[in-house]
Amino acid sequence: TIPILTIDGPSGVGKGTVARIVAQKQNWNLLDSGAIYRAFALTVDARKIDISNEEALEKIAQTIDLEFKTKLGNELVSVYLNGKDVSNILRTEKIGGMASKIASIGMVRATLLKWQKDFAKAPGLVADGRDMGTTVFPNALFKVYLTASADERANRRLRQMQMQGSKGIISQILAKVKVRDKHDSLRKYSPLKPAKDALIIDTTKLSIDEVITQVVALIEA
């Protein structure tokens, strides 16, 4: 069996960074499932599709042309939609919010399921998302659930924005973090929650390196 590490948790907890570094260390494949939902949202937005139109959504889900490319030595994974690099636009707050709405539709989640499962290839996979350990890879060998207080996650997001040269207002960021949490944990299909067999790591007071050490220890135990 292919070793799979699932990393789930709320927005802004640092899953993406941890997943990418662990995947690099282990030389495993990487699935950024949030990017799939975001690319989906971007397509819906560009085509001005009403999100209550399930038929149109299903069509997009079945024909979405998405490719992930990791550049050697690059911090980030680039995402290509219909051959165009959409990495930056995908990471905007607007698309994140839309992704969260679309992700609550059962049909969308069901259609994207097979697509995500296909990432499980040798020599291994690190899968980052909300339901990797509960729904997409319930039999994964290694499961981690990262948490951090909403305040800390909002602070991390602010620092990230500042590093990218944009300004942010902490109270607004915190409000958005809370809305997203509510949306992700109260939805009917695959709500955000730790898998029963996941190692829960509260990262509020931990550095990225400390989190990575714990995750790697789990894999190598």
Catalog residues that contact ligand C5P under the rule CB under 6 A. Answer: 11, 33-34, 37-38, 96, 99-100, 103, 129-131, 180, 184
The closest of 117, 148, 121, 118 to 131, measured between CA atoms, is: 117
Measured from the CB atom, the residue of 115 and 206 that comes closer to ligand C5P is 115
Measured from the CB atom, the residue of 59 and 183 that comes closer to ligand C5P is 183
Measured from the CB atom, the residue of 21 and 103 that comes closer to ligand C5P is 103
Decide: 146 and 192 in contact? Cβ < 8 Å: no
Measured from the CB atom, the residue of 118 and 220 that comes closer to ligand C5P is 118
The closest of 190, 207, 196 to 100, measured between CA atoms, is: 190
Q: How far is the CB of 31 from ligand C5P (least distance, A)?
A: 9
Q: How far is the CB of 180 from ligand C5P (least distance, A)?
A: 5
Measured from the CB atom, the residue of 177 and 215 that comes closer to ligand C5P is 177
Give the three-class secondary structure for 29. strand
Decide: 9 and 201 in contact? Cβ < 8 Å: no
Measured from the CB atom, the residue of 7 and 215 that comes closer to ligand C5P is 7
Please give the Cα distance from 3 to 57 (Å, whole number). Answer: 32
Please give the Cα distance from 41 to 49 (Å, whole number). Answer: 10
Phi-psi region of 167 (alpha: psi -120 to 50; beta: other; left: phi over 0): beta
For residue 205, with 0-12 CB atoms within 10 Å meaning exposed, 13-18 middle and 19 or more buried, which class applies?
exposed
Q: How far is the CB of 220 from ligand C5P (least distance, A)?
A: 25
